[in-house]
């Protein structure tokens, strides 16, 4: 039992007394050149220059050095540069470079001098696309035939993973036609194909946010705009003054100023809602003022005979407005409302000034990183995807409203209605027809109120009048 303990103690003492064998080669440097636009990072799947530098022992001559790249790397496209230094003096040492798999081997014909500094530069090499932290791996062989692993020396390279879009951009930059395209300064600055590929996914997410802002804000602005319109047309002085004041203030100040007041003024009051919600509130308040004037113009364009016809059927003011006037108003102002929708969609770009990541914010960030205007052109495309179809729809609606469209009626529809449902009939006719339609409906209502005999007499009179 004591003998093994004595042997173990002797071994420990021997290791403490005897020096550890030193490496014949030490790693002094292991770096890569930045290949990330607008930053100092090293991206995977993107050409870079990998530099390894090692110092040989003063008593050892090197026969060969093998550097192994991580799995998934791409070997240098332009070869490997070998430099041997003695202090600051460059030595002429013949060598050959061979590639096998992911490894590059440098063999010195007559051996590298003892104590020399060896530097290998792997030009246009690529790290794996997934990225990660990589240390130097490989082996070296001395002139005496001894082989050992290259010590990493605590040196490592941090590689940033790349997306498929970034890899596509790197591939495009290597294509001759892209290089010829980018040789024209204007084309390169305003429509670089590689930047387009990397910009579209980022701007697309901002486009979705802009659509969400409008999809939520515009439906909320419609009823609020109606309320402000009713206040503006009120017969009482106080509500009319409140409505006019709000509409004039909102329409008389720029939306950009309103955004700044909301985003920088409310925190001073101790109120800090989420930026997305606050953006919706500002858009709703701004758009409702414009919609109020649109609705007011539409309501006032309805002939007063429509009001009188509805009131003669016993409808009160609210029923007249809901079932007769508002349906006609919406039909008349749809083109103008669509224009307001387009304006709201474009005005979401102003929210980039307060940090909301919509289309312009992403474009601005990428442009600042690349120094290229292409992201703004991509942003313009995303705006046009929405605005051009809607503008075309407005033109079609305006043409239909100007030229009119055939009215399809069923002759027996009014005959099947009961007196209790006449108010709904008036609303429907008024919504799709002219003042003559309302008058005809009123005559039918009078006939129903006096009984079947009056209907028959009225029909006979109309027939005789037609025959005459």
Instruction: Say what the pLDDT of residue 9 is.
Output: 61
The structural domains of the chain, ordered by start, are 23-162 (2.60.40.740), 200-303+316-403 (1.10.3720.10), 415-459 (no CATH)
Instruction: Say what the pLDDT of residue 437 is.
Output: 47
How far apart are the C-alpha atoms of 417 and 433, rounded to whole Å? 18
Asked if the model's pLDDT at residue 293 lies above 90, the reply is: yes
CA distances from 110 to 23, 61, 105, 257, 386 (A): 21, 9, 15, 76, 70
The region of weakest confidence among 202-206, 241-245, 400-404 is 400-404
Is 93 in a helix, a strand, or coil?
coil
Is-contact 448 422, C-beta < 8 A?
Answer: yes
pTM for this predicted structure: 0.65
- Residue with tokens 């005959």, as numbered in its chain: 415
Asked if the model's pLDDT at residue 464 lies above 80, the reply is: no
Instruction: Please choose, from the candidates 208, 186, 431, 182, the residue with its C-alpha nearest in 3D space to the C-alpha of residue 298.
Output: 431
Is 163 in a helix, a strand, or coil?
coil
Reported as a single tens digit per residue, the pLDDT across 26-48 is: 999 999 999 876 678 898 888 89
Instruction: Say what the pLDDT of residue 37 is.
Output: 67
How far apart are the C-alpha atoms of 142 and 164, rounded to whole Å? 43
Is-contact 114 59, C-beta < 8 A?
Answer: yes
H or E element in which residue 152 lies? none
Instruction: Say what the pLDDT of residue 308 is.
Output: 85
Reported as a single tens digit per residue, the pLDDT across 180-202 is: 999 999 999 999 999 999 999 99
Q: What is the mean pLDDT of the chain?
A: 82
DSSP string, 198-238: HHHHHHHHHHHHHHHHHHHHHHHHHHHHHHHHHHHT-SSHH
Mean pLDDT across the stretch 137-163? Answer: 90
Is-contact 230 246, C-beta < 8 A?
Answer: no
- Residue with tokens 């052109």, as numbered in its chain: 377
Reported as a single tens digit per residue, the pLDDT across 352-393 is: 999 898 999 999 999 988 889 999 999 999 999 999 999 998
333 φ, ψ (degrees, to nearest 5):
-100, 5
Provide, rounded to the nearest whole percent, the portion of the chain with pLDDT above 70.
80
């Amino acid at each position: 039992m004591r003998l093994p303990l004595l042997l173990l103690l002797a071994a420990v003492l021997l290791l403490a007394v005897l020096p550890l064998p030193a490496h014949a080669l030490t790693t002094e440097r292991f770096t890569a050149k930045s290949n990330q636009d607008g930053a100092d990072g090293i991206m995977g799947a993107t050409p870079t220059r990998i530099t390894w530098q090692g110092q040989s022992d003063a008593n050892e001559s090197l026969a060969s050095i093998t550097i192994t790249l991580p799995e998934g790397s791409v070997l240098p496209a332009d070869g490997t540069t070998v430099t041997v230094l003695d202090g600051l003096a460059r030595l002429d040492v013949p060598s050959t470079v061979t590639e096998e798999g992911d490894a590059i081997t440098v063999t010195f014909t007559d051996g590298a001098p003892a104590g020399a500094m060896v530097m290998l530069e792997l030009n246009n090499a690529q790290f794996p696309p997934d990225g990660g932290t990589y240390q130097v791996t490989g082996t070296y062989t001395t002139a005496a035939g001894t082989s050992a692993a290259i010590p990493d020396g605590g040196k490592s390279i941090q590689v940033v993973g790349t997306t498929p879009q970034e890899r596509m951009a790197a591939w495009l930059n290597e294509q001759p036609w892209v290089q010829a395209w980018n040789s024209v300064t204007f084309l390169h600055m305003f429509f670089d194909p590689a930047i387009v590929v990397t910009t579209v996914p980022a701007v697309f997410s901002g486009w979705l946010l802009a659509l969400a802002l409008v999809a939520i804000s515009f439906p909320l602005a419609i009823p609020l705009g109606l309320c402000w319109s009713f206040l503006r047309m009120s017969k009482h002085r106080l509500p009319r003054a409140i409505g006019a004041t709000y509409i004039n203030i909102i329409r008389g100040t720029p939306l950009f100023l309103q955004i700044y007041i909301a985003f920088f003024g409310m925190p001073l009051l101790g109120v800090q809602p989420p930026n997305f919600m606050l953006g919706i509130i500002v858009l709703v308040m701004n758009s409702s003022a414009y919609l109020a004037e649109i609705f007011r113009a539409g309501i006032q364009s309805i002939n007063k005979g429509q009001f009188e016809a509805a009131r003669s059927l016993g409808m009160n003011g609210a029923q007249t407005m809901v079932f007769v006037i508002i349906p006609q108003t919406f039909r008349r102002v749809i083109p103008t409302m669509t224009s307001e929708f387009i304006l709201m969609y474009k005005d979401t770009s102003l929210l980039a000034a307060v940090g909301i990541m919509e289309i312009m914010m992403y474009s601005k960030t990428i442009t600042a990183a690349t120094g290229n205007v292409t992201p703004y052109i991509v942003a313009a495309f995303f705006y046009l995807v929405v605005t051009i179809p809607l503008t075309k729809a407005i033109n079609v609606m305006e043409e239909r409203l100007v030229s009119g469209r055939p009215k399809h009626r069923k002759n027996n529809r009014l005959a099947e209605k009961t007196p209790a449902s006449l108010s709904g009939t008036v609303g429907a006719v008024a919504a799709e027809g002219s003042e003559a339609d309302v008058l005809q409906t009123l005559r039918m209502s009078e006939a129903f109120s006096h009984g079947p005999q009056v209907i028959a007499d009225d029909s006979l009179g109309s027939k005789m009048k037609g025959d005459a």
